[in-house]
A = this chain, B = another copy of it.
């Protein structure tokens, strides 16, 4: 234990136990964002997400793309909660000597990301660090009860996602591999890594319907996200289908990988994972065609279960995690 060090989850667990005292907050420490009562039933919603050069910036990603990705990662958590981020603060750690061209590239990437999602950069901090660190902090406002939560899944809910999975997982393998240039048929996979997108518009639209019982973003991987909903909602999730992107299937076939594993255990894929009132899914799907049904919420103790050759099999709570 001591030798290998704590995992990210264990660190967060330690913090949670230490900080959990005090009056109950609108959202748990475990949710995608933090929320704090403002006045008259309104909440301020906050999120911080730290991008680190050595672990979050794959080979081939420019500084501008990395800066934009830092914004996308933060906005994605707002998307999952159905809350419009209004402004961003950015704490930048950058190794010296700092070139003007690098700073301009970072500033452009941040600005591009912010304007794509209708928010504004209001301030920040700058420090000297050994490696690139971009901590992107977002805030927004919401009505009490107007935030999609991780812990709201109910029995019978349809489990759905906003798109197919596996592209970033394959793309990261391509970027970290030795084959250059990569075949053109894999461009979409690489693009998904270098130019991720947060599902903000979809998340806001979904929140307005009132038919979504729980929601999380999939930045730590599909399997992990499903487990979080199941664990916090105290239910189980039965997967009927694993939504693998066509290009990821091709990549898996050519590289002797299991496509479903790419989709389940990848990460840095900014789709939304939701549970929806069962009698509302079809009408919602007509409004938001990108919604894909992948399973059902059943009673249980936090398991995620899939059918494998006619037998139920547990999907492990593995995901994209540092410190392993």
A3–B91 CB distance below 8 A: no
- Is residue A129 within 8 Å, beta carbon to beta carbon, of the partner chain? yes
Binds B, one of A102-110, A178-186, A283-291: A102-110
Determine if A116 is an interface residue (Cβ-Cβ < 8 Å).
Answer: no
On chain B, the residues within 8 Å of A12 by CB distance are 126
Interface stretch of the complex, out of A131-139, A149-157, A230-238: A131-139
Q: Which of B86, B137, B322 sits near A89, CB closer than 8 Å? A: B137
The answer to whether B103 touches A14, judged by C-beta atoms less than 8 angstroms apart, is yes
**Given known contacts A91-B135, A98-B6, A18 and B127 CB-to-CB distance under 8 angstroms:** no
Query: Which of A42, A111, A128 has the most CB atoms of chain B within a 10 A radius of its CB?
Result: A128
Cβ contact of A96, chosen from B5, B34, B139, cutoff 8 A: B5
CB atoms of A87 and B123 under 8 A apart: no
A44 interface residue (CB < 8 Å to B): yes
Asked if A310 is an interface residue, CB under 8 A from chain B, the answer is no
Instruction: List the interface of chain A (C-beta within 8 A of B).
Output: 2-6, 8, 10-12, 14-15, 18-19, 22, 25, 29, 33-34, 36, 38-39, 42, 44, 46-52, 54-56, 86-87, 89-94, 96-100, 103-104, 107-108, 110-111, 120-131, 133, 135, 137, 139, 141, 322-323
A258 CB to closest chain B CB, in angstroms? 27
Q: Return chain B residues, CB-CB under 8 Å to A8.
A: 126-128
| CB-based contact B34/A125 at 8 Å | no
Contact A86 B6 (CB under 8 A): no
**B122 and A15: CB pair below 8 A?**
no
What CA separation (Å) do A55 and B3 show in the bound complex? Answer: 28
Closest 4 interchain pairs by CB? A5-B97, A34-B123, A34-B122, A18-B107
Q: Are A123 and B46 in contact (CB under 8 A)?
A: yes
**Cβ A52 vs Cβ B14 within 8 A:** no
Contacts of A29 on B, CB cut-off 8 Å? 122-123
Contact of A93 with B50 in the complex, beta carbons under 8 Å? yes
From B2, B36, B91, B141, contact of A99 by CB (8 A): B2
* Contact partner, A6, options B33, B48, B99, B130, Cβ 8 Å: B99
Nearest Cβ in chain B — how far from A254, in angstroms? 31
Q: Are B49 and A125 closer than 8 Å at their CB atoms? A: yes
Indicate which residue in B44, B137, B323 contacts A137 across the interface (CB closer than 8 Å).
B137
CA distance A96 to B5 in the complex (A): 7
How close is A81's CB to chain B, nearest CB, in angstroms? 12
Known: A6-B103, A87-B34, A133-B93. A124 touches B48 (CB 8 A): yes
CB of A90, distance to nearest CB on chain B (Å)? 8
